[in-house]
């Protein structure tokens, strides 16, 4: 019997119809998958479920009761909690304070700090999450913050929980904890709406599945048993994708980037490697291996303890991103929401902000040129938007990533692109588009470093892989020697010496 039901949900924005007549239902105690390309309407549907936005037409029913909530608080009181991919935590508060936010224990306005901490400690231990409840959220890794969000939903005992790409920042161990929690919630009768692009997780966890495409219902599977990966991908993208990776051999040029004995406060073991013109060098490792720390040191965003970086034989100044950009190196960071895009600004501003110095003499802005640059890269990178003036925060994750790429490609003389988790939370169709962009840039002679946590993905698109473990390079693997088990073995802790597979 249906417990959660969407009836004829439609939602439009200026220039785009995000949802058109979406109807489907989920049974009590079921895990229901929600899939679709970025821009298909999943996030809009989730926002309507959460009370963050209102539908233009249609209704939501929970346990046969029509819901008329108009705010997140109303949805919360109806038993609905949404855990967004972009986390909703307060960085300067502790884990315990975030989990109790809005309902602190105490009397007469005085918070009972001891109860607050000990209750959270007990609950975290009960659900198998090892996090210090007194730790500031700002001090935690992205994966650990994700676990805090998940713990919040479990503590609140919601009737309906929507999880938006919940494992995108989790380690394999953390993912297994999440999967166990989902099974326990399912047994208690909780409805789980599971939004993910990871088909392995969909098939493992979900009882039923809905696929959206271009704001419409592309397919609804009341029982996921009997469906295939190929069928779901075709439903998502409206076409067959025979080779998602699309890798092809290309000629490699001279040495472009050389890194020697690079180390810093979060990467104490010196790392050395090089990348040639036209090469895509993949960095793989488990969460905490030091991949993002290496990228930030390389770019000058963090302070180097030692080491040298050179591009085309010319040294790049340490601890200075501006010097790195001038030398031809740019970084697309892991956390695109907080470190990549400029929220509250348009697509046009986000693309032009770095390159505008080339066409704004004496600091006088050139709106006509900025518009031209933005339109050029919106077209080149196929950014899906009704207008260059659209606020970048309203774009899907894949389109935000394209905007960040457009910003750097509008720069002059880029030689090295460092891109960290470029496809995190991005659907299979958008992934193929991002890969094609990277292959095109490599063919133009750029040296590309791509950091990925998904092993099949890094093997699929890289010419060579550096495996990191515990802040050091544990192995270097040529494409002809790619082997999933051996690469994963090199990434696991407690190996002795670095080497070449």
Give the model confidence (pLDDT) of 180-219 as tens digits. Answer: 888 988 998 999 999 988 888 999 999 999 999 888 999 9
The strands making up 16-27's β-sheet, listed across from edge to edge, are 16-27, 2-13, 57-62, 65-67
Token reading at 19:
């949802």
CA distances to 202, 209, 219, 226 from 231, in Å: 13, 12, 10, 10
Percent of the chain that is helix, strand, coil (3-state, to 5)? 35, 25, 35
| Domains of the chain and any CATH numbers | 2-237 (3.40.50.300), 242-328+414-501 (3.40.50.300), 341-412 (no CATH)
Token reading at 324:
């790195």
CA distances to 70, 87, 236 from 194, in Å: 23, 16, 16
246 backbone dihedrals φ, ψ, rounded to 5° = 70, 15
Question: Are 195 and 42 spatial neighbours (Cβ–Cβ below 8 Å)?
Answer: yes
pLDDT given for residue 496 in this prediction? 40
108 backbone dihedrals φ, ψ, rounded to 5° = 55, 35
Q: Cα 311–315–317 angle (5° rounding)?
A: 115
Residue 80 burial class via C-beta count within 10 angstroms: exposed 0-12, middle 13-18, buried 19 and up: buried
* Helix or strand holding residue 272 (H, E): strand 267-276
Residue 349 three-state SS: helix
Distance CA 397, CA 405 (A): 12
Distance CA 26, CA 45 (A): 14
Residue carrying structure tokens 């040529």: 478
Residue carrying structure tokens 């208690």: 188
Question: Are 67 and 60 spatial neighbours (Cβ–Cβ below 8 Å)?
Answer: yes
Distance CA 229, CA 242 (A): 12
Question: Are 179 and 170 spatial neighbours (Cβ–Cβ below 8 Å)?
Answer: no
What does the DSSP 8-state code read for residue 494? S
Residue carrying structure tokens 């693309």: 351
Question: Are 178 and 185 spatial neighbours (Cβ–Cβ below 8 Å)?
Answer: no
Residue 226 three-state SS: coil
DSSP assignment of 14-43 equals TTEEEEEEEEEEEETT-EEEEE--TTSSHH
Neighbours of 313 (CB within 10 A): 9
Neighbours of 406 (CB within 10 A): 24
Q: Where are the beta strands (DSSP E) in 379-481?
A: 416-420, 447-452, 464-469, 472-478
Residue carrying structure tokens 């007990």: 122
* Helix or strand holding residue 284 (H, E): strand 280-284
Question: Are 24 and 3 spatial neighbours (Cβ–Cβ below 8 Å)?
Answer: no
pLDDT given for residue 216 in this prediction? 92
Distance CA 165, CA 43 (A): 11
What does the DSSP 8-state code read for residue 145? H
Report the Cα–Cα distance between both ends of the chain, in Å, rounded: 54
Q: Which residues, listed in sequence order, are joined to residue 416 by a DSSP beta bridge?
A: 329, 447
Token reading at 424:
């995190």
Residue-level pLDDT, tens digit, the chain, 501 residues: 789 999 999 998 776 788 999 999 999 999 999 998 767 888 889 999 999 889 999 999 999 889 888 788 888 888 898 888 766 788 888 888 888 776 665 555 556 677 778 888 888 887 777 888 888 888 887 777 877 887 887 777 789 999 988 887 777 777 888 888 889 889 989 999 999 888 889 999 999 999 998 889 999 999 999 898 888 888 887 765 556 788 889 999 999 999 999 999 878 789 999 999 999 999 998 777 889 899 999 999 889 999 999 999 999 988 888 899 889 999 888 777 777 777 878 888 888 777 777 777 667 777 788 888 888 888 887 888 888 888 888 887 778 888 888 888 887 788 999 998 888 766 677 777 788 888 988 999 999 999 988 888 899 999 999 999 888 899 999 999 998 888 988 887 754 444 444
Distance CA 6, CA 13 (A): 20
Q: Where are the beta strands (DSSP E) in 351-498?
A: 416-420, 447-452, 464-469, 472-478
Distance CA 146, CA 459 (A): 26
pLDDT given for residue 241 in this prediction? 54
Residue carrying structure tokens 């740019």: 330
DSSP assignment of 462-485 equals -SEEEEEETTEEEEEEEGGG--HH
Q: Which residues, listed in sequence order, are joined to residue 449 by a DSSP beta bridge?
A: 281, 418
Residue 372 three-state SS: helix
Distance CA 380, CA 443 (A): 16
Residue carrying structure tokens 């304070």: 97
């Amino acid at each position: 019997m249906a417990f959660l039901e969407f009836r004829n949900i439609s939602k439009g924005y200026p220039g785009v119809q995000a949802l058109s007549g979406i109807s489907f239902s989920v049974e009590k105690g079921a895990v229901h998958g929600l899939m679709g390309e970025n821009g298909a309407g999943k996030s809009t549907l989730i926002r309507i479920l959460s009370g963050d936005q209102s539908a233009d037409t249609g209704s939501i029913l929970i346990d046969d009761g029509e819901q008329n909530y108009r705010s997140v608080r109303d949805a919360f009181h109806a038993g609905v909690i949404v855990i967004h991919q972009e986390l909703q935590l307060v960085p300067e508060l502790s884990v315990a304070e975030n989990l109790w936010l809005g309902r602190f224990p105490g009397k007469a306005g005085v918070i009972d700090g001891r109860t607050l901490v000990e209750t959270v400690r007990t609950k975290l231990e009960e659900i198998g999450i090892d996090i210090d409840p007194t730790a500031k959220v700002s001090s935690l890794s992205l994966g650990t913050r994700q676990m805090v969000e998940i713990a919040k939903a479990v503590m609140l005992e919601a009737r309906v929980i929507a999880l938006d790409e919940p494992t995108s920042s989790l380690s394999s161990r953390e993912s297994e904890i999440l999967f166990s929690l989902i099974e326990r919630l399912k047994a208690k009768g909780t409805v789980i709406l599971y939004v993910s692009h990871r088909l392995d997780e969909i098939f493992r966890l979900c009882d039923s599945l809905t696929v959206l495409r271009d704001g419409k219902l592309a397919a609804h599977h009341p029982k996921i048993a009997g469906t295939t990966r190929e069928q779901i991908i075709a439903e998502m993208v409206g076409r067959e994708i025979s080779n998602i990776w699309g890798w092809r051999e290309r000629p490699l040029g001279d040495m472009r980037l050389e890194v020697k004995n690079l180390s810093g406060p979060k990467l104490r073991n010196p790392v050395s490697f090089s990348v040639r013109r036209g090469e895509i060098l993949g960095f793989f490792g488990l969460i905490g291996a030091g991949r993002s720390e290496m990228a930030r040191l390389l770019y000058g965003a963090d302070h180097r303890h030692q080491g040298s970086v050179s591009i085309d034989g010319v040294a790049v100044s340490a601890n200075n991103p501006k010097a790195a950009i001038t030398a031809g190196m740019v970084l697309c960071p892991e956390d695109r929401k907080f470190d990549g895009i400029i929220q509250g600004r348009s697509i046009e501003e986000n693309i032009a902000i770095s390159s505008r110095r080339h066409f704004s003499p004496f600091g006088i802005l050139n709106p006509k040129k900025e518009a031209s640059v933005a339109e050029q890269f919106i077209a080149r990178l196929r950014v899906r938007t009704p207008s260059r003036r659209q606020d970048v925060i309203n774009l899907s994750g894949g389109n935000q990533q394209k905007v960040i790429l457009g910003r750097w490609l509008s720069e002059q003389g880029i030689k090295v692109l460092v891109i960290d988790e470029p496809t995190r939370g991005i659907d299979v169709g958008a992934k193929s588009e991002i890969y094609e962009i990277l292959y095109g840039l490599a063919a133009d002679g750029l040296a590309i470093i791509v950091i990925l946590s998904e092993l099949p993905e890094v093997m699929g698109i890289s010419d060579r892989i550096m495996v990191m473990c515990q802040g050091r390079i544990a192995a270097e693997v040529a494409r002809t020697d790619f082997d999933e088990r051996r690469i994963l073995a090199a990434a696991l802790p407690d190996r002795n010496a670095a080497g070449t597979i």
